Amino acid sequence: MTALKTISGVISAGLLLALAQPATAQTVKMTAVAGHPVVFPWVKLADEFFIPEVDKRLAAANSKTKFEWTKAWGGTAVKLGSESGAIKDGLAELAFVSTIFEAPKFPLQNVSYVAPFMTDDVAVMSKVIKGVQAKVPAMAEAWTKNNMIFLGGTGLDSYHLFTKGPINKLEDLNGKKINAPGPSANWVKGTGAVAVAGTLQTYYNDIQTGVTEGALTFVTGAFPAKLTEVAPHITKVNYGAQFAGALVMSKRVYDKLPKDAQKIVNEVGAEYDAKFAQLLAATSASLMQKMVEGGAKVRELSAEERKQWAMVLPNVALPWAKDLDSKGLPGTVVLNEFVAQMKATGASFPRDWSKE
């Protein structure tokens, strides 16, 4: 009897001890991918802020969830433009998705590329795109239907023209081949220049070998790509900041996370968004100065010239919107909402793309 009581006591004590212990930790294996290398700000911040900060907060909250990370930046696992496919196919759990290179999957997210010259403030652009996504369900659904949870958006600092020789007037573009990816090819229509497809990884070689005579790109991309070595003339056209993509998590993985882990992931994602805008603004100014110190020659368009450049372009925003309307997507709604929210921020732009 005494032995039974002893055994019972041991079992009871063990049960109480087990109940007092925290739930068994859940280790989730996470492969993080991006086509761009870590030298680019959107990847750098994911690597140096988002991942360690999520880990830190999970630990501080005594969460039963722990992530085990494998980082595959710079196209080591997934090529640029294939990141969303890697998430959808289960090859990755976290990714930076560049919507400009995946336009067929994210047509509505590319509204800023058919409506340039709006704002050079990255924070404003990111805020407006998120605002439009919040008001137009079909735009937000582009993420979820591809098995992604939107964590934080990013913009690109204002686009300018990097060329071998100087561009002193609009007519100097006539006949020149210019690297302009995806939707940004529309920005050279009507100027006399010819758009040539490419990416930040190809621009240098394209210009050096004479395939093109310059590229339309942004300072934080141009500097690590060393573009001014082959295209030392910078024409500050200020096509405007652009929405570039987002840091996303696999919906399959996210949906299985406990609420506390989901909350932390969302909070750090929102901070990634805000920190990115701050980082990009400071970095862009610093890198432009470095390029000038390295010998780059800069000419900035006046307000009158900028309006001239904007007005010579065909209004591709309206046919873009109508084409999406015909496919059952709210293109016109998104364009009108984009312009309205941009106006509400106080942004001053030379052309209203929602009008003929």
Q: How far is CA 206 from CA 163, 203, 215, in A?
A: 12, 5, 9
Which DSSP category does 50 fall into? I
- Taking only the tens place, the pLDDT of each residue in 102-155 is 989 999 999 999 999 999 999 999 999 999 999 999 999 999 999 999 999 998
pLDDT of 244: 87
Is 73:82 a contact under the CB 8 Å cutoff?
no
Nearest CA among 247, 98, 220, 232 for reference residue 165: 232
Listed in sequence order, the residues at least 6 apart from 252 whose beta carbon sits closer than 8 Å to its beta carbon are 90, 147
Regarding the domain delimited by 26-347, which CATH topology (the fold level of the hierarchy) does it fall under? Answer: D-Maltodextrin-Binding Protein; domain 2 (3.40.190)
pLDDT at residue 8 above 60?
no
pLDDT band at 41 (very low <50, low <70, confident <90, very high): confident
Cα–Cα dist 136/145, whole Å: 15
Rounded to whole angstroms, the Cα distance separating 11 from 8 reads 5
Taking the C-alpha atoms of residue 341 and residue 353, their distance in angstroms, rounded to an integer, is 13
pTM, full prediction: 0.84
The strand ranges marked E within the chain are 26-33, 65-72, 94-98, 148-156, 159-163, 177-179, 194-196, 214-218, 233-236, 242-250, 297-300
Give the pLDDT confidence of 302-312 residue by residue, as tens digits.
Answer: 999 999 999 99
- Measure the CA–CA gap between 218 and 206, rounded to whole angstroms: 17
Q: Please state, as a whole number, how many other Cβ atoms lie within 10 Å of the Cβ of residue 15.
A: 10
What is the CA 68 to chain-centroid distance, rounded? 24
Write down the pLDDT at residue 24: 61
The DSSP-derived string for 290-308 is HHHHTT-EEEEPPHHHHHH
Lowest mean pLDDT among 2-11, 42-51, 328-337: 2-11
Q: pLDDT tier at 181 (50, 70, 90 boundaries)?
A: confident
